[in-house]
Amino acid sequence: MNKKTIRIMLVEDHIGYRQTIAIALEQNENMELTSQFGTAEIALRSIQNAAPENQLDVILLDLNLPGMSGLEALPWIKQYAPDSEVIILTQSDNAADVTRAITEGAAGYLLKSATFKEITEGIQTVMEGGATLDPEVARFIINSLRGKPKLTQPDKALSERELEVLELIGQGMAKKEIASHLKISITTVAYHVQHIYEKLKVPNAAAAVDRAHRLGLFPSD
């Protein structure tokens, strides 16, 4: 069974870490590191000039870059490559960085302390429609939102099944895993996910989970 090759760009200024990630991705037969850059400016130029057939699937983006930061580059990346998923891969667990990255459209946020297995699984999860969050980052999001006032509820309430799907997305499950867990088809899961995005007015899974916590849609521990 042939899997689609996931085309990946890495934006990271530390040469040693770039090389390490490149080696890790080479071990995965359905992932291809097509390009790597040390600055956001050069990466953006490459994205902007890319031919349609060279569309990227995933962009691994560091935040602490020389010149333009990853956070400054993120909205431009989403403008130039709206169909590419961006996963933040950084040392920063700063609260403001996490919140801004998700708000700007990042599909995942991993710390550089993550294992290579966690990184490659995170890439796969995002490609399957899920959200990949470092466990420490996920705990931070939940804890930081508990004391904040809840946002106004969405115009259209989520159904019980949509809430189930959203909770599983928040646990890092991909669509295939959700389908198996709930004993429904992947097509049905995709249908629910699309409705969740529309009702919450968000672009991706990570933003949906964040907004659900802000709205108080998940049960408190």
Domain annotation covers residue 196: yes
Q: Which domain holds residue 183?
A: 149-215
Cα separation values, 150 from 147, 211, 212, 215, Å = 9, 10, 10, 5
CB 116 within 8 A of CB 155: no
Is residue 39 domain-shared with residue 94, that is, in the same domain?
Answer: yes
Q: pLDDT for 40-84, tens place per residue? A: 999 999 999 888 778 899 999 999 999 899 999 999 999 899 889
On whether both 12 and 111 belong to a single domain, the answer is yes
Residues in the chain: 221
In a domain, 139, yes or no: no
Reported pTM: 0.68
**According to the model, what pLDDT value does residue 72 have?**
92
148-161 exposure pattern, b = at least 16 Cβ within 10 A, e = fewer: eeeeeebeeebeee
Residues 119, 156: one domain? no
How confident is the model over 12-37, as pLDDT tens digits?
Answer: 999 999 999 999 898 888 999 999 99
Cβ burial, residue 3 (10 Å; 0-12/13-18/19+): exposed
Listed as own residue / partner, the contacts of 53-56 with beta carbons closer than 8 Å and 24 or more positions apart are 54/7, 55/7, 55/81, 55/83, 55/84, 56/7, 56/8, 56/9, 56/81, 56/84
pLDDT band at 4 (very low <50, low <70, confident <90, very high): confident
Query: What is the overall mean pLDDT for the chain?
Result: 83
Written as six digits, the tokens of 124 are: 């796969």
Of 97, 127, 157, the position where a domain reaches its end is 127
Residue 136 lies in a domain: no
- Asked if 20 and 69 sit in the same domain, the reply is yes
Residues 21 and 99 in one domain: yes
**What does the pLDDT look like over 85-116, one tens digit per residue?**
999 999 888 878 888 888 888 888 888 888 88
In a domain, 143, yes or no: no
Listed in sequence order, the DSSP H helices in the chain are: 15-26, 40-49, 70-80, 95-103, 116-127, 135-146, 160-170, 175-182, 186-200, 205-215
Same domain, 156 and 202: yes
The reply to whether 140 falls in a domain is no
| Confidence class for position 1, pLDDT limits 50, 70, 90 | very low
- Looking at the structure, do residues 120 and 159 belong to the same domain, yes or no? no
55/110 same-domain check: yes
**Are residue 121 and residue 172 in the same domain, yes or no?**
no
The 3-state DSSP class for residue 65 equals coil
Pair of tokens at residue 130: 């899920």
Which residue, of 82, 97, 127, is where some domain finishes? 127
- Give the chain's domain count: 2
Same domain, residue pair 115 and 190: no
Q: Which of 127, 159, 193 delimits the end of a domain?
A: 127
Q: What is the mean pLDDT of residues 158-178?
A: 84
CATH for 155 = 1.10.10.10
Specify whether 70 is located in the same domain as 155: no
Average pLDDT over residues 111-131: 84
Q: Is residue 134 part of a domain?
A: no
Is residue 106 located within the same domain as residue 210? Answer: no
Closest CA to 37 of 68, 64, 15: 15
φ/ψ bin of 5: left (φ > 0), alpha (ψ from -120 to 50), beta (otherwise): beta
pLDDT at 153: 55
* pLDDT (mean) for 178-188: 88
Q: Does residue 177 belong to any structural domain of this protein?
A: yes
Residue 51 lies in a domain: yes
Question: CATH number for the domain including 111?
Answer: 3.40.50.2300
